């Protein structure tokens, strides 16, 4: 029995030694591959760390320029403010700061009657993939408002389709953009479509009080133009339910 135990121990030890030898041979054979992989992982980690530092420094740099432009504008130095904003717009600056600077820069261009340039910037902001949803929608909303206020710069064909495209990808300012579409439809004499659009906006549970009030006023204007809203037919189920209600007794009527 003792000899068997000793034999088992010798076999186990031999197997262990064999495994160690295989592992040693494996690492000796593939050592360069493991070193290369480790080096790649290390370089990747360092690159990510460096990228974070770079992005933070860029954020700080362009935030400072943006703040300076605000100060210059408040001081009345519009040219200097515009120059600072243009630096951010033309550079590969962080998307958030760039979008804000673009909106302000476009506003200054619009005030100088450089409407085509302003429209181009608003469109870029609306198409920005990495920008905040509100900022993107605001770019599209301002673009539409310029189109509707100045026929000379509005697209000659397919304006409604362009408005609907902006509306379809909007989220934060979707109702405000829908309002602009309804205004355009009203301008074009499509009173029924405009009425239904304003009605939908006014009944939306997420609508702001100001937008709700505006929509209700536009509904009155459309009616004053001669449009007669279609009365929605009462559903048969509702009529049946009304008929099934028990008639009030004489005693109940006298109480009333």
Structure confidence at residue 53 as a pLDDT band (50, 70, 90): very low
Q: Please provide residue 121's backbone torsions phi and psi, each rounded to the nearest 5 degrees.
A: -70, -45
Core vs surface per residue 112-127: b (16+ CB within 10 A) or e: eeebeebbebbbbbbe
Structure confidence at residue 156 (pLDDT): 83
Q: What is the spatial distance between Cα 225 and Cα 218, in angstroms, rounded to a whole number?
A: 11
In this predicted model, what pLDDT tens digit does every residue of 177-187 receive, in sequence order? 999 999 999 99
* pLDDT reported for residue 57: 75
pLDDT tens digits for range 150-172: 989 999 899 999 999 999 999 99
| Of 86-95, 137-146, 192-201, minimum mean pLDDT range | 86-95
- CA distances 113 to 136, 147, 150, 191, Å, are 23, 14, 11, 32
Q: Where in the chain is the domain with CATH 1.25.40?
A: 66-167
More confident call, 195 vs 9: 195
Which among 85, 91, 90 has a CA at the least distance from the CA of 103?
85
Give the pair of three-digit tokens for residue 19. 């495994």
pLDDT digits (tens, 9 = 90+) for 80-92: 999 999 999 999 9
Closest CA to 180 of 223, 218, 230: 218
Residue 29 has pLDDT above 90, yes or no: no
Fold classification of 66-167 (topology level): 1.25.40
Cβ pair 139, 101 in contact under 8 A? no
Confidence of residue 28 (pLDDT cuts 50, 70, 90): low
Which pLDDT score is estimated for 7?
A: 56
């Amino acid at each position: 029995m003792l000899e068997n135990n000793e034999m088992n121990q010798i076999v186990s030890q031999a197997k262990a030694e064999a495994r160690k030898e295989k592992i040693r041979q494996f690492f000796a054979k593939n050592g360069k591959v493991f070193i290369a992989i480790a080096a790649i992982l290390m370089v990747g980690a360092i690159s990510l760390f460096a990228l974070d530092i770079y992005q933070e420094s860029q954020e700080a740099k362009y935030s400072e320029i943006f703040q300076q432009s605000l100060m210059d504008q408040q001081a009345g130095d519009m040219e200097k403010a515009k120059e600072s904003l243009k630096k951010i717009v033309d550079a590969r600056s962080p998307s958030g700061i760039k979008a804000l600077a673009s909106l302000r820069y476009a506003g200054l261009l619009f005030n100088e009657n450089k409407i085509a340039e302003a429209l181009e910037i608003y469109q870029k902001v609306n198409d920005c993939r990495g920008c905040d949803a509100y900022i993107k929608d605001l770019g599209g909303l301002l673009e539409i408002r310029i189109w509707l206020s100045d026929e000379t710069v509005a697209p000659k064909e397919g304006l409604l389709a362009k408005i609907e495209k902006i509306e379809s990808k909007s989220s934060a300012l979707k109702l405000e953009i829908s309002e602009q579409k309804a205004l355009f439809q009203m301008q074009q004499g499509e009173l029924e479509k405009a009425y239904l659009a304003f009605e939908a906006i006014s009944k939306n549970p997420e609508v702001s009080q100001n937008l709700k009030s505006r929509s209700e006023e536009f509904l009155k204007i459309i009616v004053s133009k001669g449009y007669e809203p279609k009365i929605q037919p009462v559903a048969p189920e509702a009529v049946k339910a009304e008929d099934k209600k028990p008639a009030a007794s004489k005693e109940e009527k006298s109480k009333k």
